[in-house]
Amino acid sequence: MKLTIEEVRHVAALARIGMTDAELELMRDQLSHILESFDALGQVDTDGVEPTRHSVDVDSVMRDDEVRDSLLREDVLANAPSKEGDFVRVRAVLGDH
């Protein structure tokens, strides 16, 4: 089953990755080819089988509510592409900016 170009465009929008028309076409071919190689999985009998999300049992992990050192603000902000004072600067979310 080959994906349609609309499906690929929809997935790219969900993943928030901009793509040119040529990139969408290539992705369509490659994803379709990869998905075909998964076909046999549908034939495996998994009636009554529980899914495994983690290979070790992970329950909610609790810890004491104690004060610990956190990272230095200057160190953390040093990596922000755009900042103003002690704040990370973001672009306009709505409308013109």
Partner 1 sequence: MNSSDVLGLSVQAAKTLLDRGEVSSYELTRAVLDRIREVDGRVNAFVTVTEDEAMAQALSADRRIADGDNGPLTGVPMQIKDNMCTRGVPTTCASHMLQDFIPPYDATVVARLQLEGAVLVGKGNMDEFAMGSSTENSALFPTRNPWDLDRVPGGSSGGPAAAVAADECVFSLGSDTGGSIRQPAALCGVVGLKPTYGLVSRYGLIAFASSLDQIGPLTKNVTDSALVLNAIAGHDRNDSTSIRYDPPDYSRALLPDLKGLRIGVPKEYFVEGLEPGVEEAVRTAIGVLEELGAKVEETSLPNTEHALAVYYIIAPSEASANLARYDGVKYGYSAAEADGMWDALDKTRQDGFGPEVKRRIMLGTYALSTGYYDAYYLKAQKVRTLIALEFRDAFQRFDALVTPTSPSVAFKLGEKTADPVQMYLNDILTMPANIAGIPAISVPGGIVEGLPVGLQFLGPPLGEETLFRAAYAYEQATEWHRMRPDL
- Binding residues (CB under 8 A) for partner 1: these are 7-8, 10-12, 14-19, 27, 30-31, 33-35, 37-38, 40-42, 44, 46, 49-56, 58, 61, 63, 71-72, 75-76, 78-82, 88, 90-93, 95-97
Shortest distance in whole angstroms from residue 27 CB to partner 1: 6
Whether the Cβ atoms of residue 27 and residue 7 lie closer than 8 Å to each other: no
* Of residues 67 and 93, the one with the C-beta less far from partner 1: 93
Q: What is the largest CA-CA distance in the chain?
A: 59
Rounded alpha-carbon distances, angstroms, from residue 31 to 6, 19, 21, 47: 13, 15, 15, 28
What is the closest distance, in whole angstroms, from the C-beta atom of residue 25 to partner 1 in the complex? Answer: 13
